[in-house]
A and B are shown apart, each in its own frame.
Chain A
Amino acid sequence: MRDGQDLMREIVALVAKDLTLLLRDRGGFFFTFIFPLVFAVFFGTIFSGSGAESRKLPIAVVDEDSSADSRAVIAQLDTVAEFDTQGMSRGAAVEAVRLGRRVAYVAFPKGFGEARRRMFYGRGPEIELGFDPSRKAEAGMIQGLLARHLSAQVGQLLSNRSSLRSWIHETEVSVDSSATGGGRRGALRRFLGELDRFTGEVADSTPGAAGDGGGWQPVSFKNVDVARVRSGPRNAYQVSFPQGIVWGIFSCAFGFGLSLVHERTRGTLVRLRIAPISRGKILAAKATACLVAIVGIATLLLSFGALVFGVRATSPALLAIAVLSAAIAFVGLMMLFSVLGKTEATVSGLGRAAMLLMSMAGGGMVPLFLMPHWMQTVGSFTPVRWTILALEGAIWRDFTLSQMALPCGILLAIGVGTFAAGLKVFRWTEG
């Protein structure tokens, strides 16, 4: 009779054999260990924008006015952090937008500068905004940013006593020479005169008042960093690395599922079944090898993420629980898939289809918050959804143990249920 030591030795031999085969299969090794890392780094870099440059909106600027005002506005646009401006002719600007090289063009037509100084009479200044109809969101954003910066310029004018009084005097001359009707001209003259007096008095009685914010401001914004309050991901890698781990788990579980089919089609399963070990132990050893490999992948990715990209768990203990729960869920699924099909083609097809669907619906490809609501609901039925939630819960969502219980409990239930079903089918099909 065999004792416990013998049984353990046999399981260790089975596990070591599977891990050796995994490491010696270059393709399998790449997709299990390297691809998830590349995935995490690649998408983390994309979503983090790799610096401010990639977040800038590329716009073409057309100056048909060539006035001091238009040049001043354009010079200010060049300093706006959100814009990547490039001056060009109208034709070139339209072509650049049409070809998608620029999101929009901003044209300052002739008379812009003159119209801008005519604040209370005649036609106001006009800016032409040409944009790609498929990029309405960016166009709206550009319009808002332009309005903000132009309003700020007016605010500066009205807030500075000397420039305001200089503008008043220029405007009085301009009104006199304009074609504005007699009644309206008189009213404007009175208003400008009162404004000039007001500016002078305010400046005289409250020194510095006009220049220290007491002037005109359309609205002021106070920015609050909400992320710090609700503890969001510190960087995009904290989102992409859990996704990378999911891909690693997928690849690993898929590889081990296929390896069981290989054992069957290549005859080695016959030898395993003839050996004096039980069917359950064969399957348990295969599952253990898969589990070890998954934990290895997760450790590799998390170590790399922590060292290079600052992906650190708020709770390493909860992270370990999350990884283990996810591993158990996918090992169970792998066992079930591997015994449902007789051939490599069947199991491979089944595995790929499941991987694709679960990944798409569960947030393994695109973060869930970017998906429509119904898709997020569908995602709740996939282990990918709960794996990502559990991993994120330990990495940046600040989950407590009780909050972690739901995703991990679901993952464990999936793992145990599917493994039991797989074992039953295996015993039934393999005699």
Chain B
Amino acid sequence: MTVPATQSHRDTMLRLSDVRKSYGKTVAVDGLSLQIAAGEVFGLLGPNGAGKSTTVALAVGLLEADRGTVEIAGAGGPADPAVRAKLGVAPQALALYEDLSGAENLRFFGTLQGMAGSALAERVRWALEFVGLTARARDRVSAYSGGMKRRLNLAVAVVHDPPLLLLDEPTVGVDPQSRNAIFGNIETLRRQGRTILYTTHYMEEAERLCNRVGIIDQGTLLALDTVERLIAAHGGRSALVLDENGTERRIETEDPAAEVAKLARRGSLPRFRLEQPDLEAVFLNLTGRHLRD
């Protein structure tokens, strides 16, 4: 289950090279290139309609690129069924059979991935336990809550133990409890060295879960790096927001601690709060818009 250490961060598990996809006159993805190394959790961050789901669809072969190439684990493109066997996908829209139980869904999709017998039974049991649905394994999915369905959606993606996971907004519309559970699942997968492409429009998720993040908007990849480097490069300066008798004054600074010390020395340090740049600021600076605009 765990990716061998020698493989981590060295082999490229997913490579998109100059990929373009348009629907009529609308360009959904424009010249996108990225590489995800084995064992890496890569975040694709952008607002709704930025091109994240189209990128996932291109990566798994649901869509054919107008231009450019997709390569998975150095084995070829997703048109080849043998290559697709390396993928585990949790689509943004729940993709489950409501009239089958959780266990039946997992058994069915596991079988389609070539599993059988005791190995399949063991993986189904593991996947149910992984997402905390063992107690509800025999219940029909139609009786599950939204959060439980999301967790099962993730379980189906991992049941066949694929080396590359593509999780398209896996926490959309779930309650905080299920969201935390899903975060826990992904952190476990990351510790196991699984390679993950994680799309989201929640910057907190990208900051918490991803080794590297690509900022995408209107089909174009605007920036790509670790969270820290992106913030350093595009987040702008930190800001001290001073409360001066009910009036807020904002001081932007490269070194907030030094600025606080300076104000204290002057004896004029009022109540204040520190605003540090984040991925939201990165996106704002890159696009002039907020992530949730």
- Residues of chain A touching chain B, judged by Cβ–Cβ distance below 8 Å, are 1-2, 6, 9-10, 13-14, 17, 20-21, 24-25, 266-268, 270-278, 431
Q: Let me know if A270 and B62 touch, CB within 8 A.
A: yes
CA distance in complex: A266, B81 (Å) = 23
A21-B97, A25-B99, A267-B93 known; 20 other A-B pairs, CB under 8 Å? A6-B116, A10-B112, A13-B112, A20-B100, A21-B99, A267-B95, A268-B95, A270-B62, A270-B93, A271-B91, A271-B109, A274-B60, A274-B62, A274-B84, A274-B87, A275-B84, A275-B109, A276-B81, A431-B62, A431-B63
Q: Let me know if B114 and A276 touch, CB within 8 A.
A: yes
CA distance in complex: A27, B216 (Å) = 46
Leading 7 A-B pairs by shortest Cβ distance: A267-B95, A276-B81, A13-B111, A275-B112, A276-B85, A267-B93, A24-B99
Q: Let me know if A267 and B91 touch, CB within 8 A.
A: yes
B109-128 to A contact mask, C-beta < 8 Å, 1/0: 10111101000000000000
Q: Which residues of A contact B108 (CB under 8 A)?
A: 13, 17
Q: Which residues of A contact B98 (CB under 8 A)?
A: 266
CA distance in complex: A283, B97 (Å) = 17
Q: Let me know if A274 and B89 touch, CB within 8 A.
A: yes
A-B contact count (CB 8 A): 73
Instruction: Show 7 A/B contacts (Cβ-Cβ < 8 Å), sorted by A.
Output: A10-B114, A13-B112, A267-B96, A270-B62, A271-B156, A273-B62, A276-B84
A271 → chain B, closest Cβ, in Å? 5
Across the interface, B81 reaches (CB within 8 A) one of A270, A271, A278, namely: A278
CA distance in complex: A274, B61 (Å) = 7
Q: Which residues of A contact B114 (CB under 8 A)?
A: 2, 6, 10, 276
B110 → chain A, closest Cβ, in Å? 9
CA distance in complex: A185, B96 (Å) = 102
Q: Which residues of B contact A268 (CB under 8 A)?
A: 95-97
CA distance in complex: A14, B100 (Å) = 13
CA distance in complex: A6, B109 (Å) = 13
CA distance in complex: A47, B89 (Å) = 57
Q: Let me know if B81 and A277 touch, CB within 8 A.
A: yes
B59 → chain A, closest Cβ, in Å? 10
Q: Let me know if B100 and A17 touch, CB within 8 A.
A: yes
Across the interface, B113 reaches (CB within 8 A) one of A267, A273, A275, A431, namely: A275
> Given that A6-B114, A270-B62, A274-B60 are known contacts, is A17 also in contact with B95, CB under 8 Å in the complex?
no
Q: Let me know if A270 and B95 touch, CB within 8 A.
A: yes
Q: Which residues of B contact A20 (CB under 8 A)?
A: 99-100, 104
Q: Let me know if B81 and A17 touch, CB within 8 A.
A: no
CA distance in complex: A136, B114 (Å) = 71
Q: Let me know if A431 and B64 touch, CB within 8 A.
A: yes
Q: Which residues of B contact A431 (CB under 8 A)?
A: 61-64
- Residues of chain B touching chain A, judged by Cβ–Cβ distance below 8 Å, are 60-64, 81-82, 84-85, 87, 89, 91, 93-100, 104, 108-109, 111-114, 116, 156
B36 → chain A, closest Cβ, in Å? 17
Q: Which residues of B contact A273 (CB under 8 A)?
A: 61-62
A2 → chain B, closest Cβ, in Å? 6
Q: Let me know if B91 and A1 touch, CB within 8 A.
A: no
Which residue of B93, B108, B109 has the most chain A CB atoms within 10 A of its CB atom? B108
B213 → chain A, closest Cβ, in Å? 24
Q: Which residues of B contact A271 (CB under 8 A)?
A: 89, 91, 95, 109, 156
Q: Which residues of A contact B97 (CB under 8 A)?
A: 17, 21, 268
A30 → chain B, closest Cβ, in Å? 15
Closest to B94 in A: A267
Q: Which residues of B contact A270 (CB under 8 A)?
A: 62, 89, 91, 93, 95
Which residue of B95, B98, B112, B114 has the most chain A CB atoms within 10 A of its CB atom? B112
CA distance in complex: A274, B87 (Å) = 8
Closest to A275 in B: B112
Across the interface, B95 reaches (CB within 8 A) one of A13, A21, A266, namely: A266
CA distance in complex: A20, B96 (Å) = 14
CA distance in complex: A268, B153 (Å) = 11
Which residue of A13, A24, A271, A273 has the most chain B CB atoms within 10 A of its CB atom? A271
CA distance in complex: A275, B89 (Å) = 9
Q: Which residues of A contact B113 (CB under 8 A)?
A: 275-276
CA distance in complex: A266, B98 (Å) = 10
Q: Which residues of B contact A267 (CB under 8 A)?
A: 91, 93-96
CA distance in complex: A271, B82 (Å) = 15
Closest to B156 in A: A271
B118 → chain A, closest Cβ, in Å? 14
Which residue of B84, B85, B100, B114 has the most chain A CB atoms within 10 A of its CB atom? B114
Q: Which residues of A contact B63 (CB under 8 A)?
A: 431
Closest to B116 in A: A9
CA distance in complex: A274, B104 (Å) = 19
Closest to A13 in B: B111
> Given that A10-B111, A20-B100, A431-B62 are known contacts, is A1 also in contact with B95, CB under 8 Å in the complex?
no
Closest to A272 in B: B112
Q: Which residues of B contact A9 (CB under 8 A)?
A: 111, 116
Closest to A16 in B: B108
CA distance in complex: A266, B91 (Å) = 11
B195 → chain A, closest Cβ, in Å? 16
B9 → chain A, closest Cβ, in Å? 26
Q: Which residues of A contact B156 (CB under 8 A)?
A: 271
CA distance in complex: A17, B101 (Å) = 11
CA distance in complex: A330, B278 (Å) = 59
Which residue of B64, B81, B89 has the most chain A CB atoms within 10 A of its CB atom? B81
Q: Which residues of B contact A17 (CB under 8 A)?
A: 97, 100, 108
B286 → chain A, closest Cβ, in Å? 31
Closest to A285 in B: B112
B127 → chain A, closest Cβ, in Å? 14
Closest to B64 in A: A431
Which residue of A21, A268, A272, A431 has the most chain B CB atoms within 10 A of its CB atom? A268
Closest to B110 in A: A13
Closest to B83 in A: A276
CA distance in complex: A2, B111 (Å) = 12
Q: Which residues of A contact B60 (CB under 8 A)?
A: 274
CA distance in complex: A1, B75 (Å) = 13
CA distance in complex: A268, B94 (Å) = 8
A268 → chain B, closest Cβ, in Å? 5
CA distance in complex: A431, B63 (Å) = 7
CA distance in complex: A271, B159 (Å) = 13
A260 → chain B, closest Cβ, in Å? 13
Q: Which residues of A contact B111 (CB under 8 A)?
A: 9-10, 13
Closest to A267 in B: B95
